[in-house]
A and B are shown apart, each in its own frame.
Chain A
Amino acid sequence: MSALEPQGRRPRHLTIGRVGVYAFLITAALFFLLPLWIMVVTSLKPMDEIRLGNILALPAAMTIEAWTKAWSSACTGLECNGISVGFWNSVRILIPSVILSIAAGAINGYALSFWRVKGANVMFGVLLLGAFIPYQVFLYPLVRIFSMSGIYNSLTCIVIVHVIFGLPTMTLLFRNYYAGLPIELFKAARIDGGGFWTIFFRVMLPMSTPMLVVATILQTTGIWNDFIFGLTFAGRENLPMTVQLNNIVHSTQGERAYNVDMAATMLAALVPLVVYFVSGRWFVRGIAAGAVKG
């Protein structure tokens, strides 16, 4: 450090440049916040106010009627039990899918990083390619396989599908993480006589907390937000929230109840938003970790 050191690229005083920076950021922020704002205010307005008023304006006669209606009595086609049905379906799909897909990814990643199994890298390569292949290529045969085995349109079916299509990302995530751990750690555990599962449960898993958090965030938002698998495999009884939301929005007879639509939309966005705000930097770190190395 010397007295001649430049002031750095980050001036703190207010210049025209600084104003420009903030102007750009604030404009961008407004663009990103606009849809959320509109959803919230619309969901709190009664219908006649929506018909006449400004979409951006705050509700004059605020009411949470639309929210209760969206939750418990909005119609998804013929049934009118609200989006709460979809919420609980999504929860029942989410929990086993997240746990199983993370377990599979961690075991695969560990086996791939430390145990040279013949053909494993070829398998991994195909799996990675599979991550890029459009789901439409697999859907019809999968439907046939599941109907032949008699589990099509069930909770089991949709959970299996989520685990299958979570494999590439989860395996990649854990493989990269374990490959970054010092190999001496594994060698030491081997010398101490640890076998495959002992090393996994005693050494690797306890060190995997960061990746477990990241994987949970990724899978929770990913599976909660899934639409196409839920639509195709879950069956009428288990339709997830996204599918039910789409049904509510598109199957309304007569005039659309925009306030109910928006309340239902907010409800469907709630879980991932909570995950996002609670996880904060972890969410960003998760994307960065998975992405930068991937």
Chain B
Amino acid sequence: MDSATIPVPTVRAASTQGRRLVRTRLPAALALLPTALVVLVVYIGCMLWTVRLSFTSSTLLPKLDWVGLAQYSRLFVNDRFVTSAENIVIFGVLFISGCLILGFLLAVFIDQNVRAEGIFRTVFLYPYAMSFVVTGVAWQWFLNPGLGLQKVVRDLGFESFTFDWLVNPDMAIYTIVIAGLWHGSGLTMAILLAGLRGVDEDLWKAAKVDGVPTWRVYTSIVLPLLRPMVVTATVLLATGVVKLYDLVVAMTMGGPGIATEVPAKFVMDHLFERNNIALGTAAATIMLITVVAVLAPWVYARYIRAQRRPA
């Protein structure tokens, strides 16, 4: 059964209990009330408020005038914002594909009945337990050209070795990707490994009997079976991409120059430091539109339609 439909039968079963429940449902409704209020006030209300502010000329304090799309046209010619948007695309594509590939490889290799499996798993996943601030500070230290990796290699005798990505505006965003991969690929590994362990042992025996090479079994049979886990991992990683903020702040502060600015940081800076609420909320609204455009169909298909479908 598709994992998307797992909760459905149970929920439906609860409904078959007859109408007697209606009267006794009041405490349940009351228990859900605070969350409903949060959903209304925060998740919907604050969101609409932000969108509304993006159509105003608010600077230090919020105003409720109407300037149409003026902030948006300002946004799309703003170097900082354009760079931020480009950076998040670069980071998103490389981070998600990198984590999936590295995570899958790690999971497959760990699944080869290796010794000390627990140690490897622990080592691959521990970065995920650490904060992005810690991750950023550690990688900033390691990659700084003056005392870090570049110096180590030069001291070994490779005098002309250069690894200055951290301070090179063209390459700095890739150091963020490296730190991100270090932080996130263990998570992908853990999710996919759980999936690998769920693969029927008979499948392996059958493939062996038919003489199918192991790598072929992984790519043609196992990988399609892991589709739900790959989707889950992708969604988790994608939410991490949108939230990318603390890693950049800790590692490069958006620099050198504006080379590693990202949308989340653009919004934060304009809301709380640059006193340009309208421009900040306009950027936040663009982030919102992007995310909703990608995720609304997915959530609809996965949860809402699944529950309406007759069993």
Contact B28 A265 (CB under 8 A): no
Q: Does B268 contact A (CB under 8 A)?
A: yes
Partner of B44, one of A22, A56, A126, A287: A126
Contact A196 B27 (CB under 8 A): yes
Q: Identify the stretch in B3-11, B63-71, B158-166, B167-175 within 8 Å (CB) of chain A at 4 or more residues.
A: B3-11
Partner of A25, one of B34, B110, B296, B304: B110
B7, B35, B151, B304: residue with the most chain A Cβ atoms closer than 10 Å: B35
Instruction: Give CA–CA (A228, B131) in the complex, Å.
Output: 11
Contact A261 B141 (CB under 8 A): yes
Complex: chain B residue closest to A34, CB-CB = B142
Complex: chain A residue closest to B35, CB-CB = A108
Q: Does A137 contact B (CB under 8 A)?
A: yes
Contact B7 A175 (CB under 8 A): yes
| Count of A-B contacts judged by CB separation below 8 Å | 321
Chain B residues with CB below 8 A from A44, complex form = none
Contact A138 B47 (CB under 8 A): yes
Size category of the A interface is: 35 or more
Complex: chain B residue closest to A165, CB-CB = B42
Q: Does A144 contact B (CB under 8 A)?
A: yes
Q: Identify the stretch in A58-66, A151-159, A176-184 within 8 Å (CB) of chain B at 4 or more residues.
A: A176-184
Using a CB–CB distance below 8 Å, which chain A residues touch chain B? 5-6, 8-10, 12, 18, 21-22, 24-25, 28-29, 31-36, 38-39, 42, 50-51, 54-56, 104, 107-108, 111-121, 123-142, 144-145, 164, 167, 171, 175-176, 179-181, 183, 186-187, 190, 195-197, 221, 224-228, 232, 242-243, 245-246, 249-250, 258, 261-262, 265, 268-269, 272-273, 275-277, 280, 283-284, 287-288, 291-294
Given contacts A39-B138, A288-B190, 17 further A-B contacts (CB under 8 A): A25-B110, A55-B141, A113-B11, A116-B14, A116-B21, A123-B32, A133-B288, A134-B291, A136-B283, A140-B53, A141-B46, A145-B46, A167-B35, A224-B131, A242-B131, A276-B125, A292-B232
